[in-house]
Amino acid sequence: MNRDDMAATDQLPKGWWIYKGVGTVTERQVRLAENRPPWRSFKGEPDPGYTPPSTSKAAWHETHRRGAGYVPEGEEKDAVNTALYLRRPLLITGKPGVGKSTLAHSIAADLELGPVLHWPITSRSSLRDGLYQYDAIGRLHDANLRHFDAAAARTNKRPPAARRQSASAAVPVPAVGAPGGPIAPYLRLGPLGTALVAQELPRVLLVDEIDKSDIDLPGDLLTVFEEGSFEIPELARIAARQRRVKIGTQDDPEPQVEIERGRIQCLAFPIVVLTSNGERDFPPPFLRRCIRLNLQPPSRGKLNQIVRQRLALDKEADDAPYRDLIEAFIERRAEGDLATDQLLNAVQLRLSGAWTDDGDRDEFLDTVLQRLTGPLA
């Protein structure tokens, strides 16, 4: 059986699937909450005053738009559901443009888990970047402004001689941790930190292109993934006098989630999707804690499905207007990598009536289907 034939048979959901499984969204969310291994059970307590982003937010519409048009094959559904049952990160490898990041949006859209939390990785990314950000410089700047304003107010109330003496005196600079200035406005949870906030339903976290990271980041993530918790030292240090502090999240910088004693502990472990273009290898301890999926370039049948869904075309409509573009895409992809969205661009132009002259066909393909690797078209 070839991949095109398999694509047709993969549409029947397996009984154990949660993602793309049978039942309503609510029923599948219940199954997701009930099926977890004892060693992946966490005890975080949700903040009753915190409400995750609803489906009315713009970020959710973007997640749903990207995820609803994704066409997963059976191997992808099996891997995703295995990761859901085991509460393990899903490590997706594959060439650029095969849909690795879009699969994360598909999971969130299918199970209605809210907007995807996105953490794009660079060579400078550290674990703390994903957990939280602390604007120490901004806090120091604001503390200085408050100090100068207070000094100016006192000076204006003094006699002229005392005012001149005060103006010539050195003004002390308060320490960053000095009491009197609230710390909450300068703290904000990052994408990983927001995903670990205790909630009944898990959030989907996309850690994009982790193969670009510093060599230590995968190892640093292991402890957080195993414990499902982390500490914010800046809050832990003031816990004796301020036990609870509300800070912002990746979704909203305004203080909204309450942190107790500087520690965050998840309740439902997030659905973590890590993507890699295969530019580096990962250490065995990291790999054994992940469910791995290698995405292959879409087959002819899957490309047809993607075009129909992403461009909202009638399922019964003839594919003749763009069939030749799919064939040209597959032919060029054999000589160098192409991304699926390049095919979508080509079909959209064709359906819009652009590049309609037969004599422009080669130039059209060279313009919209330029290979990402290999020889130029």
Is pLDDT at 328 greater than 50 in this prediction? yes
Is pLDDT at 161 greater than 60 in this prediction? no
> How far is residue 64's CA from residue 41's CA, in Å, rounded to a whole number?
29
Report pTM.
0.84
Confidence of residue 118 (pLDDT cuts 50, 70, 90): very high
Sheet hosting strand 291-294, strand order edge to edge: 117-120, 204-208, 271-276, 90-93, 291-294
**Answer CATH for 3-132+186-294 from 3.90.1750.10, 1.10.260.30, 3.40.50.150, 3.40.50.300:** 3.40.50.300
Is pLDDT at 172 greater than 90 in this prediction? no
Residue 343: what pLDDT?
93
* 347-371 tens-digit pLDDT: 999 989 998 888 899 999 999 999 8
The domain limits of the chain are 3-132+186-294, 300-368
Q: Rounded to the nearest 10 degrees, how much is the dihedral formed by the CA atoms of 157, 162, 166, 169?
A: -170
Is pLDDT at 249 greater than 70 in this prediction? yes
Output the six-digit token pair for 261.
């004693």
Residue 291: what pLDDT?
97
pLDDT above 90 covers a percentage of the chain that reads 62
Is pLDDT at 342 greater than 90 in this prediction? yes
Confidence of residue 244 (pLDDT cuts 50, 70, 90): very high
Residue that the structure tokens 């032919």 belong to: 331
> How far is residue 367's CA from residue 46's CA, in Å, rounded to a whole number?
52
Question: Is residue 221 a contact partner of residue 282, using CB atoms and an 8 Å limit?
Answer: no
